[in-house]
Structure 1
Amino acid sequence: MNKKEETSKIAYFSMEFAIDQALKTYAGGLGFLAGSLFKAANRANYPMVGVSILWSYGYYDQMRDIEGRMVIGKTRKFHDYLVDIDVKVPLEINRSKLWVKAYLLPAGIFSTRPIYYLTTDIPENDYLSRTISYNLYDSNNLTHIAQEMVLGIAGYEVLKKCENIDVYHLNEAQAIPLAFRMMEDKGLDYVKNHLVFTTHTPIPAGNEIQDINILNNMGFFGSTDLKTAENFGGNPFNLTVAALKMSKKANAVSKLHQQTTEEMWNWVPKRCEITYVTNAQDVNSWQDVELKRCAEEGDLENLRKRKLHLKKQLYQVVADQCGRLFDEEKLTVVWARRFAEYKRPYFPLHDEEKLRELINSDKLQLIWAGKPHPADFNAQVTFNWIISKSREIKNTAVLTGYELHLSKLLKLGSDIWLNTPKRPNEASGTSGMTASMNGSIHMSTLDGWHVEWFNEYPDLSFTIGDGENLNEDYEADDMYKLIWKVIDMYDTDKWWKLVQDNILTSVDFFNADRMLKEYSKRVYNAVDKKYEIIDNDK
């Protein structure tokens, strides 16, 4: 093991990092945020290290059965570019001792800051202990709690051996055992002055609540007594509430999300201040350089040619998976993101007759993609129902394997990026940002980051509804009318000027470099001013 690094740093704890297709340790937007933040930090040589878990089987492999329906597959992942730093730390779960081993993703690999990946899947542990780091977001609740303890407690102990950390950042509340371990080590005042917290989904399912006695018996709180733990998180124990009470500062992930979060948690006494840092994505990872060049030079003819070429590449996947040949000169709408109920993946089919009218114009193609949670059986049923419907409706397709590689193909090859969350449940919804960077125009309800985009540049996107009337019939009808409007506009000079403006404007608005600066100023600066980035451009 190398000598302990003396430079003080920010430690970023996250269950998932979306860094590269080869490193499948992510599920959705939370991981995409972490990955883009760390790529921006690497460019800026910003003093951050990540802490996560090395999932032996990743999230899951989204596969098809013999009838083409989605099924969940598992494949063990191997990553020989991770460095064995010869660090193991003990951890007690359910009064049984196990070992947690750390590997390091060095700085620069996949253009990211260093990340420590933890695993219990080592010979020193019994079978049950090894399974803790098998699957991201394991559906067994006790295993899930154990995963949180590995991330928070073992992660803290690994950093004590390897790094000089003075700011601890929780990307969601799963690593909250970290705060209790820190409190044992250095006292509550230290925790409240060195811990910061990013909160995400503003729905109950996204804010974990556990039986406090189960947590206590498993060792979740370490040596902290039950009454003290209850004072932070309540009974039953709410991880988000505890994080809000134990942190110096918290942030939401969009301006609207901050308002929703403040209203959601206004009953929590002694909670920390909640600011916001709107999510962003790493332009270097996502934007097609040729599209960017054409847009900057005002070369709309070659911009069109490049976009049609990128659409052809996407359609090869459609043909391979679904046996349908799409036409690159037709408007292509994509609905692709995590399959969760509040995101309403069924929305394009809300009125099937109206959708069929659009499709029968022979000017529209529609693609769905996304992963349901492996334990969300209703979402899986919805996914397979949409597959069955797509077989009945021409020029539609449902793609499986929605990971970084397919996500990028969809953003490069789509014309409209459709986002249909039920307001105000979308914290940010970052996928449309990278679509806009590649000339795929955002069409969304007034939720998440789209509110800021619409308020700043109302003519660069299409907005479903008015944000006030949340009746589904009304919103769906408005969506169909908007798509008709886009069909009439598509492949005109006005359209390609809109594509150009999106490519040029969205990068400044939603690039991860901006996000890193705001984290340093609005969040880390609350702990220590030396982490603020001086913006020399101003």
Structure 2
Amino acid sequence: MKAIRRFTVRTVLPEPLQALGELALNLRWSWHPETRELFRSVDPEVWESTGCDPVRLLGVVSGQRLAALAADRRFLRRLHDAHEDLRDYLTGTRWYQQQSDRELPRAIAYFSPEFGITATLPQYSGGLGILAGDHLKAASDLGVPIIGVGLLYRHGYFRQSLSREGWQQERYPLLDPNELAVSLLREEDGSPCTVALGLPGGRSLQAQIWRAQVGRVPLLMLDSDIEENDSRARDVTDRLYGGGSEHRLLQEMLLGIGGVRAVRTFCRLTGHADPEVFHTNEGHAGFLGVERIRELTRPAEDGGAGLDFDAALEAVRAGTLFTTHTPVPAGIDRFDRSVVHRHFATDGPVGSGEPLGGVPVDRVLALGAESWPGGDPALFNMAAMGLRLAQRANGVSLLHGQVSRSMFNGLWPGFDAAEVPITSITNGVHAATWIDPEVVRLAARELGAERIEDAMVLGESRRWDGLDAIADGEIWEMRRRLRAQLVDEARARVRASWRQRGAAVAELGWTGDALDPDVLTIGFARRVPSYKRLTLMLRDAERLRGLLLHATRPIQIVVAGKAHPADDGGKALIQKLVAFADDPEVRHRIIFLPDYDMDMAAKLYPGCDVWLNNPLRPLEACGTSGMKAALNGALNLSVLDGWWDEWFDGSNGWAIPTADGEPDEDRRDEIEAAALYDLIEHQVAPRFYDRDAHGLPRRWIQMVRHTLSTLGPKVLAGRMVREYVERLYAPAAEANRALAAERVAAPGAVVTAYCGARELAEWKSRIRSRWSQVRVEHVEAAGGADAPELGSTLTLRVQVRLDGLDPSDVDVQVVSGRVDDADVISDVATVSLKPADRADVDGRWRYEGPLELSRTGPFGYTVRILPSHRLLANEAELGLVAVPAEMAGLADGVLR
């Protein structure tokens, strides 16, 4: 018989154990070993049976056991110490509070559609969510005042199993928030806080706000499964990346618009500082900028600033950062413009059915328009909107930054891809989450517990010095223990998987010998889109079989990964891999583990000797799985893509050669698979099995030590978050303050807020209205010979027409550098020229300046005019450029 209603009856903790509840509701326990060990000691058997989840543990542990613990003085001392340690962590001075050289943001709001904090809060599908979770954890460790914003999915992402034939099957367990480490945000009268959006047809979408506490960082998650909504609205937050296009649009409207409203509610109730910076992690949350424009265009008496749309746009852009994670246009959310129009023409702040106040729908549509050559005018592009609403943007590795500048070049016509204002900050991973305790204990013996903790938090190279003192034998023994730990875990999981697939117990005796703790172990685990090439290793199945079964240098491979439920192509790749791994001849050497999640990853990364990654270059934006493996002493075997392209040094692993430019996909895969086999056969395996008289592979251990000491500080989320603070958050906060500044015309006069935003918007409007008539009319050079020598100087005289603009509105530049056979300039250097006199009667200005010839070989230069204003973040911000007449066809001077 099925229950008509479900709810959770919570345990009432005895008074001496009340602190256990506080510890359980702060997710710091997920990366704090001492707190996890405290919960395990409550009841080890129940701890394991509840998936190592403190909230579930406290919900099912017996009253007799709790009573015994309440009288156990030793346990109470441990509980007191853990509780005090958490209080110190939450209130103490961290890295952020020690920065005094500049005024940092009072608060930052970080929006993401998914967050991977712990497997017990399954609100993630893959790398984007894990990165977001690591970002919050590192921000907490550093004391950065971030507020996380996401959605609470009642079914989370799917759980994966396999059919007898190896086909992926999905199930979506219902999550009860009352069984999770979250609490409802409530008004002062105790009622749940809600936000509301209007929907077409007079309907509304309401959501309550759940709060998870990630160390020092609050994470707000919106949940539409409430009685106030109709059935369709209740399902908006049913599952991560589920439903059709309109369902996805509603999720992204709720995340962006509802998320801003949730942040305002949270700050009002808790006294938390309002964010000065808004960080959108991918384009899914891009509508947050539209909501913030709406706030600023409201009249002052209604709590707004009374700005017009253009001034509000400038104010919003100044404090917004957009991070792109996709290297391909197909990875961007795009919606039919008519669907977006229908929703934004009827959305109101409280579901009134009236237009979104102060935000004309045509301006919203323009933000997401694909107005560049080749764009689809019928679609609304979330990444385009994200870039138009953010004054700062970044990719997630150096290579991905280059790819992003090329991919979005159409938004900045007339500028070379290298000048597109998208920088890069390479992702990192949260050390305390992903380093196995074995590695921490070994390092702490040499560096000291406090120093190794600082090293994991800050990501500073000098704090990792000293690892050379660890003996080879200790490193090798640690690696063997981690490998054996993985083997035990894998055997249990593969046995459970075969049972789930319908195998009888009598058929599974072989699983007790699956894998070998003394065999070179290669790991491959990630999502399964086609570009990650799960089955590249199967390209020559017989050669792979030979590597697996080699008489003296065998390898073994552990594979895991999920395909999107709608991706039958990805499921077919999994089935092909599983079919090979099911072969009795090799199944003890290669296994596929279903239901890849954070719990599995915690054993998989440390236990592998080599981490394999073979995407199509350059389609891996970053690829943080290899970082997690490296933190545990694994060596990477990877295509030079994402972070590996940046940090491979020849001694921390191996680079798989690629056949870039090969038009035949089959031929390309064949070449790269052969290179992979060659590396394993002739370099990786021989080095692993090359032992000295003491049985130690000295050269392998040397690579492990080098990986830990050199990659360790680089791959940390602490390093990543510090870069965000210093390079993007702090400048964004400064720009936000400059545009929000007030001005008083005279004593006793009315205060005008957002003067900078109004000034910048008016200036941009004036520039755009006149730019079509701005041009470079004549360029001449004096002082050079036909074959000038290195070190000589040309004097340039340039005549420009500014069409009524002042020289202070523009920057007239000489752009010079090496030229190729097509006269394209590279290794660019720019020099600003100065006006030599006043404008003539026709509005022409003459500019002059020197051009030093500082390099030999083919050399060239050109002249261009750019808008210039003290409040611009970069010279390409408007996408406007005027060039000499012979180049005029290359730029139309319109920001697309």
CA distance in 2, matches of 1:280, 1:432: 11
Where in structure 2 are the equivalents of 1:55-66 lying within 5 Å?
A: 55-66=153-164
Question: Within the alignment, does 1:474 sit opposite 2:671 as a pair?
Answer: yes
Aligned to 2:364: 229
Where in structure 2 are the equivalents of 1:135-284 lying within 5 Å?
A: 135-163=239-267, 164-186=274-296, 187-219=312-344, 222=347, 223=356, 224-234=359-369, 235=377, 236-269=379-412, 273-284=421-432
Question: Within the alignment, does 1:128 sit opposite 2:232 as a pair?
Answer: yes
Where in structure 2 are the equivalents of 1:47-58 lying within 5 Å?
A: 47-58=145-156
Which among 94, 98, 115 is matched to residue 205 of structure 2?
Answer: 98
CA distance in 1, matches of 2:613, 2:564: 19
Is the 2:659–2:672 contact (alpha carbons within 8 Å) kept by the matching residues of 1? no
Distance 1:374 1:10, change over 3 A: same
Question: Within the alignment, does 1:483 sit opposite 2:680 as a pair?
Answer: yes
Question: Within the alignment, does 1:427 sit opposite 2:601 as a pair?
Answer: no
Is the 1:18–1:25 contact (alpha carbons within 8 Å) kept by the matching residues of 2? yes
Deviation at residue 10 of structure 1 after TM alignment: 0.5
Aligned to 1:534: none
Aligned to 2:542: 353
CA distance in 2, matches of 1:426, 1:71: 26
Instruction: Letter of the 1:280 partner, please give it.
Output: G
CA distance in 1, matches of 2:675, 2:237: 45
Deviation at residue 76 of structure 1 after TM alignment: 1.2
CA distance in 1, matches of 2:261, 2:209: 10
Where in structure 2 are the equivalents of 1:526-537 lying within 5 Å?
A: 526-529=731-734
Distance 1:31 1:221, change over 3 A: farther
Q: Secondary structure at the match of 2:222?
A: strand
Which among 623, 645, 651 is matched to residue 459 of structure 1?
Answer: 651
CA distance in 2, matches of 1:133, 1:231: 27
Q: CA RMSD in A?
A: 2.0
CA deviation vs aligned residue, 1:301-324 (integer Å, no higher than 9, x gap): 222222222222222233233343
Q: Secondary structure at the match of 1:449?
A: helix
Deviation at residue 247 of structure 1 after TM alignment: 0.5
CA distance in 1, matches of 2:651, 2:485: 29
CA distance in 2, matches of 1:530, 1:434: 35
CA deviation vs aligned residue, 1:270-313 (integer Å, no higher than 9, x gap): 89721100000011111123324546341222222222222222
Q: Secondary structure at the match of 1:334?
A: strand
Deviation at residue 139 of structure 1 after TM alignment: 3.6
Aligned to 2:121: 23
Aligned to 1:88: 194
Is the 2:429–2:627 contact (alpha carbons within 8 Å) kept by the matching residues of 1? yes
Aligned to 2:571: 380
Deviation at residue 416 of structure 1 after TM alignment: 0.8
Which among 430, 435, 438 is matched to residue 287 of structure 1?
Answer: 435
Which among 291, 303, 313 is matched to residue 485 of structure 2?
Answer: 313
Q: Secondary structure at the match of 2:523?
A: strand
Instruction: Letter of the 1:81 partner, please give it.
Output: A
Is the 1:139–1:374 contact (alpha carbons within 8 Å) kept by the matching residues of 2? no
Q: Secondary structure at the match of 1:346?
A: helix
Which among 709, 721, 730 is matched to residue 516 of structure 1?
Answer: 721
Which among 527, 552, 561 is matched to residue 370 of structure 1?
Answer: 561
Question: Within the alignment, does 1:444 sit opposite 2:554 as a pair?
Answer: no
Distance 1:140 1:487, change over 3 A: same
Structure of larger gyration radius = 2
Distance 1:467 1:501, change over 3 A: farther
Instruction: Letter of the 1:345 partner, please give it.
Output: L
Q: Secondary structure at the match of 1:106?
A: strand
CA distance in 1, matches of 2:723, 2:607: 31
Distance 1:198 1:88, change over 3 A: same
The range that moved more, 31-40 or 68-77, is 68-77
Give the TM-score of the pair, scaled to structure 2.
0.56
Q: Secondary structure at the match of 2:117?
A: strand
Give the TM-score of the pair, scaled to structure 1.
0.92
Deviation at residue 31 of structure 1 after TM alignment: 1.0
Instruction: Letter of the 2:183 partner, please give it.
Output: V
Deviation at residue 221 of structure 1 after TM alignment: 9.1
Aligned to 2:21: none
Unaligned runs of 5+ in 2: 1-104, 187-192, 268-273, 297-311, 348-355, 370-376, 444-466, 496-510, 663-667, 690-696, 737-896
Question: Within the alignment, does 1:402 sit opposite 2:607 as a pair?
Answer: no
Q: Secondary structure at the match of 1:8?
A: coil
Is the 1:278–1:515 contact (alpha carbons within 8 Å) kept by the matching residues of 2? yes
Bigger relative contact order (CA 8 A; separation at least 6): 1
Distance 1:487 1:380, change over 3 A: same
CA distance in 1, matches of 2:284, 2:345: 11
CA distance in 2, matches of 1:80, 1:335: 30
Distance 1:61 1:397, change over 3 A: same
The range that moved more, 415-424 or 300-309, is 300-309
CA distance in 1, matches of 2:535, 2:180: 40
Q: Secondary structure at the match of 1:25?
A: coil
CA distance in 2, matches of 1:226, 1:97: 18
CA distance in 1, matches of 2:180, 2:525: 31
Ranges of 4+ aligned residues in structure 1 off by more than 6 Å: none
Instruction: Letter of the 1:105 partner, please give it.
Output: A
Is the 1:181–1:221 contact (alpha carbons within 8 Å) kept by the matching residues of 2? no
Instruction: Letter of the 2:619 partner, please give it.
Output: N
Is the 2:341–2:365 contact (alpha carbons within 8 Å) kept by the matching residues of 1? no
Unaligned runs of 5+ in 1: 1-6, 532-538
Give the total of aligned pairs. Answer: 520
CA distance in 2, matches of 1:60, 1:130: 19
Deviation at residue 519 of structure 1 after TM alignment: 0.6
CA distance in 2, matches of 1:370, 1:503: 26
Q: Secondary structure at the match of 1:508?
A: coil
Instruction: Letter of the 1:358 partner, please give it.
Output: L
The range that moved more, 75-84 or 274-283, is 75-84
